[in-house]
Amino acid sequence: MLVRRIAISLMMLVAVAGLAGGLYAQLETNDRGIAPLDSSNTLEIGGIHVDVGGPDAQSARYAGWRIAQREGFRKLWAKMHNAPVNQAPSLPDGTLDQIVSSINVEREQIGPNRYIADLGVQFDRSKAAAFLGVEGVQVERSMPMLLIPVIVSGGTATTVELKNAWQRAWAEFRTSQSPIDYVRISGTGADPLLINAAQTRRPGRGWWRSLLEMYGASDVLVAEVQLQRLYPGGPARGRFIARHGPDNEIIGGFTLTAANGDGIPAMLAEGARRVDQLYAQALAAGQLTRDPSLNMPPPPVLPTLPEVKAPVPQFNSFQVQVSGKNVNFYNFAMAHLRTTPGIQSATPQQINPGGTS
């Protein structure tokens, strides 16, 4: 009986492992920031709460993931079609296993025979498109936007000079379903020197043009959060401001709170999602237009110089008569004329060596 239970447990573990491509997203980190997560090939829906029981912990967890797949597909379908969830179709579990790429655990509690969790489900874009009814649909996106996340905490504003939770929230943010084409920074290389909090307050257009060209972007977005803590580890309040352009034009803002220090990462993740919504609404309203001063100035117009014509040389001709008794005298006269300064040529017109030539 014990061997049978062990075998069943191993089968359940294999099934759980095969249910999705991965459980947790592994993010590459460095001393100053986190590399942005590539979500270009996935569609994600999060915030799915499950509370199920089972004969043992693994069975309850497996059942919870099954429920998350079903609810996740219906919520994603409803989101894409702007329709109620109850109108979404239901797919069999075997089909869902094929189109789900991974399940992300946002929070979970595992008991001996109960599983409580908040989960996120990622669907493979190419495989799920046909079932979602969006196959071949092209999403209009903005021009590439350089995103600079600024966090103000304790009176100090930073971006990627120091590792912080606000940059992590944007690195983990799934941009595949956003109409904004974000260019996100990770804090590697020269990022802390080139893109810091002080740069967002510099008005010089020349430096902004260089930065945008260096990072392959056309415009700049500054997502700012002003984080205030009542006391270390206690309640926290975040004031989120969405800015656009080199002059920090305010697009919108809102305030979120966290009950304690452990809730700050979730608050910042929700803040990133809502800031993205502000930018999406501004894009639809035509507010995210590129500042013309970011364009390269036209080349200077060279002054038109008056056309100077070369002077036409003036030539004078003279007739010279030479009288001599023989040809030697005539040849001497011709040689003397050709060697006279100022004379360019001497051409005989009428030759008479014994008389006048």
Residue listed under structure tokens 């001063």: 293
CA distance 17 to 340: 110
pLDDT in tens, the chain (357 residues): 333 333 334 334 434 444 443 333 344 555 666 667 655 567 778 788 999 998 999 999 999 999 999 998 898 888 878 888 888 888 888 888 888 888 888 888 999 999 999 988 888 877 887 888 765 555 577 889 999 999 999 888 999 888 889 999 998 888 877 889 899 888 888 888 888 888 888 888 888 998 899 998 999 999 999 999 989 889 999 999 999 999 999 999 999 999 998 999 999 999 999 999 999 999 999 999 998 888 887 888 888 878 877 776 677 777 888 777 777 777 777 877 788 887 878 787 777 767 777
Angle at 75 between CA 73 and CA 78, to 5 degrees: 110
- Beta strand 182-184 with 236-244: parallel, antiparallel or unpaired? unpaired
C-alpha 348, offset from chain centre: 86
pLDDT at 18: 43
Residue listed under structure tokens 């309203």: 285
Residue ranges, CATH 3.40.50, the chain: 145-292
pLDDT at 12: 43
Question: Phi/psi of residue 209, each to 5°?
Answer: -60, -40
Going along the chain, which residue ranges are E strands? 42-53, 100-110, 114-124, 145-153, 156-158, 182-184, 219-229, 236-244, 249-258
CATH class, 145-292 region: alpha beta
**The dihedral sign for the CA sequence 277, 279, 283, 285:** positive
| 200, 205, 210, 215 alpha-carbon torsion, rounded to 10° | 50
- Beta strand 145-153 with 100-110: parallel, antiparallel or unpaired? unpaired
- Asked whether the beta carbons of 246 and 294 are under 8 A apart, the reply is yes
154 Rama class: left (phi>0) / alpha (psi -120 to 50) / beta? left
CA distance 292 to 287: 14
pTM for the model: 0.62
Question: Phi/psi of residue 227, each to 5°?
Answer: -95, 125
- Asked whether the beta carbons of 28 and 104 are under 8 A apart, the reply is no
C-alpha 26, offset from chain centre: 21
* Exposed / middle / buried, residue 246 (Cβ in 10 Å: 0-12, 13-18, 19+): buried
Radius of gyration of the chain (CA): 41
CA distance 204 to 163: 27
* Exposed / middle / buried, residue 184 (Cβ in 10 Å: 0-12, 13-18, 19+): buried
pLDDT at 28: 52
- Asked whether the beta carbons of 23 and 102 are under 8 A apart, the reply is yes
Residue listed under structure tokens 């100053």: 32
Strands of the 114-124 sheet, one edge to the other: 42-53, 114-124, 100-110
- Asked whether the beta carbons of 133 and 80 are under 8 A apart, the reply is yes
pLDDT at 340: 81
pLDDT at 37: 64
133 Rama class: left (phi>0) / alpha (psi -120 to 50) / beta? left
Directed axis angle between helix 165-172 and helix 264-284, to 10°? 60
CA distance 296 to 312: 46
pLDDT at 295: 85
